[in-house]
């Protein structure tokens, strides 16, 4: 079905939002570590967190005022009081904490479009042995869990858990997972690569459903130890870049209406390291482009 979307955005509510204000940190079994608060300035608070192994997988979300809502290590979900959330055990279909003592596996939290209380946690699942421990290799499933913050006096509850939306080997050991806003300013695009290929899967996170996976073959075919790198969108969502020391950096244009990549170029980065990451600098160009939809109307043709 093909839709024609027309919008005029005049809201200035983007200013002052602090959804990434608090960063829980940790290493292996040591849960009594610290979190970083960026509310007014950079400040470190020692505390006993609700989960361990935040060095392997780590995602958190705050409300628009910067107050912590919940966070996850890819195995459990902890609430704002640093306690395991109701039904927050067994993420990725295992209760064995050693499940995550292995390859990094990125998790991603997105607020459901046009909802104040519902949040998705996206996570990649590895095969496990008879003890429930990870079988080293590639992530083989991409799942989501749904959290409702209306429950338990706003401490939240996991109301849907481990819902599979992709069965395939996932690139980057599950660590290559990123998202950006759809051009309509409401929905989300999620992007993740297939292992040892030039295939990318994308999902459209809309108010009524999760659409996908949509499959695209484009650009350079990554191989080898791609788990040692990172991928990221530019702040305005128009560019996507993926890097690891073996395959080097590869830059793509991204169409925020259709959710499709177009290969641009390879960028060679001299390095003796076996791992690496990358950011997009917030230059003037990238600061200006996200603001354009606030003043001008946009027409997109969206294929669903």
Structural domain contains residue 8: no
**C-alpha atoms less than 13 angstroms from C-alpha of 153 in its C-beta half-sphere:** 2
Q: Looking at the structure, do residues 110 and 25 belong to the same domain, yes or no?
A: yes
Full-model pTM: 0.84
Q: Looking at the structure, do residues 36 and 171 belong to the same domain, yes or no?
A: yes
Q: Looking at the structure, do residues 238 and 101 belong to the same domain, yes or no?
A: no
Q: What is the pLDDT of residue 294?
A: 32
Query: How sure is the predictor about 203, in pLDDT bands with cuts at 50, 70 and 90?
Result: very high
Query: How sure is the predictor about 112, in pLDDT bands with cuts at 50, 70 and 90?
Result: very high
Q: Looking at the structure, do residues 147 and 22 belong to the same domain, yes or no?
A: yes
Instruction: Please give the average per-residue pLDDT across 98-120, as a whole number.
Output: 80
Whether pLDDT at 254 is above 70: yes
Instruction: Please give the average per-residue pLDDT across 47-69, as a whole number.
Output: 87
Q: What is the pLDDT of residue 106?
A: 82
Q: Looking at the structure, do residues 156 and 195 belong to the same domain, yes or no?
A: no
Q: What is the pLDDT of residue 171?
A: 86
Q: Looking at the structure, do residues 196 and 155 belong to the same domain, yes or no?
A: no
Query: How sure is the predictor about 4, in pLDDT bands with cuts at 50, 70 and 90?
Result: very low
Q: Looking at the structure, do residues 19 and 166 belong to the same domain, yes or no?
A: yes
The lowest-confidence range among 28-42, 157-171, 279-293 is 279-293
Q: What is the pLDDT of residue 201?
A: 98
Q: What is the pLDDT of residue 95?
A: 64
Q: Looking at the structure, do residues 92 and 190 belong to the same domain, yes or no?
A: no
Q: Looking at the structure, do residues 75 and 117 belong to the same domain, yes or no?
A: yes
Q: Looking at the structure, do residues 293 and 263 belong to the same domain, yes or no?
A: yes
Whether pLDDT at 165 is above 70: yes
Question: How many domains in the chain?
Answer: 2
**Which residue range(s) make up the domain with 109?**
13-128+142-175
3-state secondary structure the chain: CEEEEEEECCCCCCCCCCCCCEEEEEECCEEEEEEEECCCCCEEEEEECCCCCCCCCCEEEECCCCCEEEEECCCCEEECCCCECECCCCCCCCCCHHHHCCCCCCEEEEECCCCCCEEEEEEEECCECCCCCECCCCEEEEEEEEEECCCCCCCCEEEEEEEEEEEEEEHHHHCCCEEEECCCCCCEEEEEEECCCCEEEEEEECCCCEEEEEEEECCCCCCCCHHHCEEEECCCCCEEEEEECCCEEEEEEEECCCCEEEEEEEECCCCCCCCCCCCCCCCHHHHHHHHHHHCCEEEEEEEC
């Amino acid at each position: 079905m093909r839709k024609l979307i027309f919008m005029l955005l005049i809201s200035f509510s983007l200013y002052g939002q602090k959804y990434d204000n608090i960063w829980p940190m940790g290493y292996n079994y040591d849960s009594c570590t610290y979190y970083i608060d960026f509310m007014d300035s950079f400040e470190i608070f020692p505390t006993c967190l609700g989960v361990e192994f935040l060095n392997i997988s780590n995602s958190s979300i705050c409300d628009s005022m910067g107050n912590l809502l919940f966070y996850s290590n890819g195995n459990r979900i902890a609430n704002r009081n640093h306690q395991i959330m109701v039904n927050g055990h067994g993420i990725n279909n295992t209760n064995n904490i050693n499940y995550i003592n292995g390859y990094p596996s990125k998790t991603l939290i997105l607020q459901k479009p046009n909802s104040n209380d519902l949040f998705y946690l996206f996570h990649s699942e590895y095969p496990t042995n008879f003890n429930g421990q990870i079988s080293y290799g590639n992530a083989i499933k991409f799942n989501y869990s749904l959290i409702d913050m209306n429950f338990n006096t706003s401490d939240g509850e996991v109301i849907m858990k481990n819902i599979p939306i992709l069965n395939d080997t996932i690139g980057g050991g599950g660590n290559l997972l990123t998202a950006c806003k759809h051009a309509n300013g409401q929905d989300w695009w999620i992007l993740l690569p297939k292992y040892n290929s030039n295939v990318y899967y994308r999902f459209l996170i809309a108010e009524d459903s999760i659409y996908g996976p949509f499959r695209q073959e484009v650009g350079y075919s990554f191989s080898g130890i791609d788990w040692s790198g990172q991928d990221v969108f530019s702040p305005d969502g128009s560019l996507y870049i993926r890097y690891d020391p073996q395959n080097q950096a590869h830059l793509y244009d991204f169409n925020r209406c259709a959710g499709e990549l177009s290969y641009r170029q390879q960028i060679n980065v001299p390095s003796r390291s076996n791992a690496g990451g990358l950011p997009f600098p917030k230059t003037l160009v990238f600061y200006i482009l996200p603001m354009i939809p606030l003043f001008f109307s946009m027409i997109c043709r969206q294929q669903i």
